[in-house]
Amino acid sequence: MRDYIGFLQGNNLKATFQRISILKSIDKHGHMNIDEIYDDVKEQNPTLSLATIYKNIILMQENNILVEVPIVNKKSKYEIRKSKHIHYICLNCASIEDYEISFDEQVSSLNLPHKEGFEVTDTQINLYGYCSKCH
Amino acid sequence: MRDYIGFLQGNNLKATFQRISILKSIDKHGHMNIDEIYDDVKEQNPTLSLATIYKNIILMQENNILVEVPIVNKKSKYEIRKSKHIHYICLNCASIEDYEISFDEQVSSLNLPHKEGFEVTDTQINLYGYCSKCH
DNA sequence: ATCCTTGCAAATGATTTGCAAGAGT
DNA sequence: ACTCTTGCAAATCATTTGCAAGGAT
């Protein structure tokens, strides 16, 4: 179990139960979109509002606690920032699995020509297909 | 200049000037979001409606003429389906440059372990950073 | 002539905002 | 105590839909 309170206070964000619930929910499930977070978190805290989730997702992205994972034809999901990895995304059930591979490994293995003047600072690699349950 | 009429008729879609304008606009600029297409296309056809753009973007995706490019924290862009490539996306000006590299090359160069039971059918590789104009 | 497509306006859905009350430090 | 955060309701923005008129084949 991660130190959610530390994540928050380290960024001068108060450790409210709403924020901790959101982080716990995302961490438990790996990758979630706004509605999934809302549904999950409401079970424990029925009064927690959607607006609070929106505000905090934005805030936590700005503070590098969360990362957005945009997905073709679906609403974006969010994950806790963690060691560099790529995503296997199921086209059927939209589940996401991670595979850890460092930034340097990703960039170098792609074997790209140095694109003149373009400075790469981050990568986003998604492999779409069908997970073991869906094919 | 591509054969937009052929793309459309090949999919049993009528070659209206609205559809041709949309395709020309996307092709000319490479990657565009809905609003950019609307603004661009309105210059030649002031009556062309936003609803028509939405309807056609969906239709052309279903017919594999267009491909969605989802982007962190921005509205998705769309491009003409063409040979396999990856994207260099500028975090400052959101411009996108293509680099051609085949599906097989992408998958094999990533040097992934065979993820049990996951069948990869498509890839999405975006390299974020700063383009030559923006750093 | 027929059927598909468009443009409009309305409906719906998603996200953001302002502000008074409440919670965290 | 002080300040930040929440929840609500309203506002705004994005997307979809129904339908009559117009356009493509």
pLDDT in tens, chain A (135 residues): 789 999 999 999 999 999 999 999 999 999 999 999 999 999 999 999 999 999 999 999 999 999 999 999 999 999 999 999 999 999 988 899 999 999 999 988 887 766 778 999 999 999 999 999 998
SS3 labels along A21-77: HHHHHHHHHCCECHHHHHHHHHHHCCCCCHHHHHHHHHHHHHCCCEEEECCCCCCCE
pLDDT tens digits along B71-124: 999 999 999 999 999 999 998 888 999 999 999 999 888 877 667 789 999 999
What's the mean per-residue pLDDT of chain B?
A: 94
DSSP per-residue letters across B7-64: HHHTTT----HHHHHHHHHHHHHS-B-HHHHHHHHHHH-TT--HHHHHHHHHHHHHTT
CB contact under 8 A, B91 and A121: yes
Residues 6+ apart with CB under 8 A from A109: B109, B110, B111
Encoded amino acid at A50, one letter? L
Residue indicated by tokens 């029925």: A46
pTM (two decimals) = 0.94
Q: Are B100 and A94 in contact (CB under 8 A)?
A: no
Q: Which residues 23-62 on chain B approach chain A with CB closer than 8 angstroms? A: 61
User: A135 to chain B nearest CA, in Å?
Assistant: 8
What's residue B123's pLDDT? 95
> What is d(CA B21, CA B18) in angstroms, rounded to the nearest whole number?
5
CB atoms within 10 A of CB B124: 21
> Which nucleotide minimizes the distance between its C1' and the CA of A35?
C14
Helical (H) or strand (E) element with A106: helix A103-109
Residue indicated by tokens 């977070």: A37
Helical (H) or strand (E) element with B67: strand B66-69
Nucleic strand C near CB of residue B45 (< 7 Å): yes
DSSP A117: T
Alpha-carbon separation of residue B114 from A26, A88, A90, A99, A132 (angstroms)? 27, 12, 15, 11, 12
CB contact under 8 A, B110 and A110: yes
> What is d(CA B1, CA A93) in angstroms, rounded to the nearest whole number?
38
Using DSSP's 3-state secondary structure scheme, residue B127 falls into strand
What's residue A114's pLDDT? 66
What's residue B94's pLDDT? 83
